[in-house]
Structures are given as C-alpha cells and as structure tokens.
Amino acid sequence: MAASAEAPSADPPQSGDAGEDSEPVVTPWTVSGDVDYNKLVDKFGCSLIPPEMVERIERLTGMPVHPFLRRGIIFAHRELNIILDCYEKGLPFYLYTGRGPSSEALHLGHLVPFMFTKYLQDAFKAPLVIQLTDDEKSLWKNLDVDEARRLARENAKDIIACGFDIARTFIFSDYDYVGGAFYRNASRIQRCVTLNQVKGIFGFTGEDNIGKISFPAIQAAPSFPDSFPHMFGTRKDIRCLIPCAIDQDPYFRMTRDVAPRIGHHKPALIESRFFPALQGISGKMSASDTTTAIYTGDSPKEIKSKISKYAYSGGRATVEEHRLKGADLDVDIPFKYLSFFLDDDEKLETIRQEYGSGRMLSGEVKAELIQLLQDLVARHQAARSKVTEDVVDMFMAVRPMPGLFR
C-alpha cells in the first residue's frame, strides 16, 4: 500500500509529475495538482458519503463519529451501507488497512488513516488486519529486502502507538506473512487479472519489473477473510471494510471486480481526502525534504519552526488587506491542519469565522496549530516509547485470536 492519505509520494513509477497547472494526477504512487474531489469520485465510480450515512453510523455505534467523518475528510465510500447493514444485523465484518514502509519517519499524513481506523475499531469492535507492504517498497524503491523489513517493524511501532486493541489486531509484513492460504488467494486473484488490465489501471510499462506487475494481487489478498486462517478459519462470509486514502481506490476496484469470480464478497471502502504538504495543497510531502511535513519524531522546536517558516498561509499581504478581505481559507495550510486535528468543533468554527473575516491574523492561527501539534506529537511519542520489541512481536504474531466478534 502506498502511503495512504499522504498527499503525494516521492517517486511516481512511470507517469511524470504534473506541474501545478497541469491536470491533477491521482494514482497509488502520485498525487499532484489541485484535486477536485467531486470529479475524482465521478471518475473512480465511488460515492460521496451523504450526511444521513454519517448520522446512521453515529446511531448504530452509539458514540459520536470521528471528526474526520463529521468534517468530510473521510468523504467517499463503496458499499459502506452493506457493512452498516451487517453491523445492524449482528453479522461480523473486519477492517483492513496498510502502509508501505518506505521510510523510518512517519509524518502526520501517514497517521490520518490509522487514527481513523482506530476510531472504527473502537466504535464497531471490529477485528483489524494491517498490511505492511515491505515487498512493494522493495520492488518500487529498489530497497534491500532486509532494510524494507526493518522499516516495516519501525513503522509498526508508530502504528501501534495509535492505540489499537491487541486482542483484535493483526499486523503483518508481506515478507514474513505471505504464504499458504494468503499466497493461494493472491494466486487466485492473479489468475483473474491480465497484464493488459494492470497496464490500464496502474500504467505499468515494459521497463517495470515483474514483481510490480503481480503486486496488486498481494495488496488485494487481505480483502478476503480466508487469507487469515488464524483469525477467521476458512470462513468466506465475513465482509471486509477498507479505510484508505482515495489514491488506493484503483487497487480495490480491481479487487472488487475479481471478488465474485473467486467466490468472495467485494470489499467495502471508506476513503479519505489527502493530507496536504506544509507548502500548500498542491505541494508535495517529500521524504527527502523534511521541511514539507511534520514528522512524528519532530521536537516541539522543530514543529514551531516548520509551521512558522513553511506553512503556506491564506493570510493577506498586509494587515490592512487582511482585515479587509479576511484569510483565504481554501488555501491556508494552518487552517487545513486544524480542521484535521482540532477535535473541538466550536473552537474550529470560531477560528473559521474570525480568521476568515480578517479579525484573526495568520500568526495567531499558526500559534494555535503549533500548540496543538506539539501536544499531539508529544502524546504520540510517549505512546510510541512504550511500544517495545515484545509488543511488536505480539501484534505481529500469527496466533489464534479467539473472541474476535461481539
């Protein structure tokens, strides 16, 4: 899985980077340009999440929905209604998400899908599988196999720090777990997908290595419960819900096409917008340029400095102009970040009005964000420091997992 909810990844495999003026590009490896999410939903063929669906989730789970859902950050879906029907009838389902471990340091964009998945697990008491695609990163980034495995374990620590329930969560690295029932499902999927199809979906060319060509089946296989016999035995009736950023949609469109042909339910999807780079909504968060993002390992000082210096502001050129016109909230990165991470709806609304009308200045909004992220990152670091190697081993153990369902 490419870095979900991360705006853009560092190296698209084939397609050139689109400049800011070009058509936006959204693939599992590249997100660039100004993304029109309504158009994307039309193009991909998924659906917007309507307000009634958000209300239904709140009603069914008996707890407030996550701010990401209230605020349209999680905004699109495929057959989420079927998952909610299941839940209502007391039928089991499980969650599947993942990460491609291409670097040691995770940034805030990487955390978004995991924060949301943690909420889903808590709200629905659902089992969860988390795939670390160390094989993908080795195939795409020419990363040494053992280095990719090491990064997978390091990333697992950050993921575990998000607070997942160890009794219901299985984290696995492809290089360690692929085999047996999982490999058989991957092979069943591969048999149903032609080279022409993956060329059409992913843009592969003759210069791509053959591991890339067949990799989509490895990312598809966790969508089927019998890929995890230690969790679900040979059951095929347990449906899968995949929280991910919308750039991963092509993988799961393919998976959904194949599913009925191999006797499985189609996985459902719940999809997020992209998390923007500090430099602006069309900018790129880059692993090689650490000024483009806030990392989970950043110190309070680094956070303050990066936001002060680099966060693209929608404030106006002069205080006078700002007081007159108000900030341009559509492009203001500190406000975008607050709308991701400030849980307090009222406070966020106050900032929207005050800043948008020009009464609040850019520096004041940045100060709010700095405080918020310093706290959030400090909490994350404290949680991560408790994740020992033993804890990682426990989450990643192929173990009997009784009582997975209510």
Footprint of its own copies (CB under 8 A): 135, 138-139, 142, 145, 174-180, 182-184, 187-188, 190-199, 204-211, 213-214, 216-217
State the nearest-atom distance from the C-beta of 234 to its own copies, in Å: 11
State the nearest-atom distance from the C-beta of 101 to its own copies, in Å: 14
Reduced to 3 states, what is the DSSP secondary structure of residue 248?
A: helix
Q: Which helix (H) or strand (E) holds 296?
A: none
| Rounded Cα–Cα distance for residues 298 and 54 (Å) | 34
Q: What secondary structure does DSSP assign to 322-341, as a single string?
A: HHHH---TTT-HHHHHHHHH
State the nearest-atom distance from the C-beta of 44 to its own copies, in Å: 21
| 264-267 LR contacts (CB < 8 Å, sep 24+) | 264/223, 264/224, 264/236, 265/236, 265/237, 265/239, 265/240, 266/78, 266/79, 267/96, 267/223, 267/224, 267/239, 267/240, 267/241, 267/242
Q: What is the distance, to the nearest Å, from the Cα of residue 68 to the centroid of all Cα atoms in its chain?
A: 12
Cβ proximity to its own copies, 139 vs 270, nearer residue: 139
Cβ proximity to its own copies, 106 vs 217, nearer residue: 217
State the nearest-atom distance from the C-beta of 150 to its own copies, in Å: 13
State the nearest-atom distance from the C-beta of 196 to its own copies, in Å: 4
Torsion of CA 209, 214, 219, 221, to 10 degrees: -160
State the nearest-atom distance from the C-beta of 182 to its own copies, in Å: 8
Residue pair 227/185 in contact (Cβ under 8 Å)? The answer is yes
Task: Find residue 177's DSSP bridge partners.
Answer: none
State the nearest-atom distance from the C-beta of 135 to its own copies, in Å: 5
Torsion of CA 105, 108, 111, 112, to 10 degrees: -160
Structure tokens belonging to residue 381: 């670091």
State the nearest-atom distance from the C-beta of 289 to its own copies, in Å: 26
Residue pair 87/225 in contact (Cβ under 8 Å)? The answer is no
State the nearest-atom distance from the C-beta of 153 to its own copies, in Å: 15
Cβ proximity to its own copies, 159 vs 254, nearer residue: 254
| Rounded Cα–Cα distance for residues 127 and 138 (Å) | 28
Task: Find residue 259's DSSP bridge partners.
Answer: none
Cβ proximity to its own copies, 32 vs 138, nearer residue: 138
Cβ proximity to its own copies, 216 vs 276, nearer residue: 216
Comparing C-alpha atoms, which of 6, 1, 74 is closest to residue 274? 6
Cβ proximity to its own copies, 175 vs 405, nearer residue: 175
Q: What is the DSSP letter of 281?
A: T
Task: Find residue 99's DSSP bridge partners.
Answer: 132
Cβ proximity to its own copies, 50 vs 263, nearer residue: 263
Cβ proximity to its own copies, 16 vs 180, nearer residue: 180
Cβ proximity to its own copies, 194 vs 353, nearer residue: 194
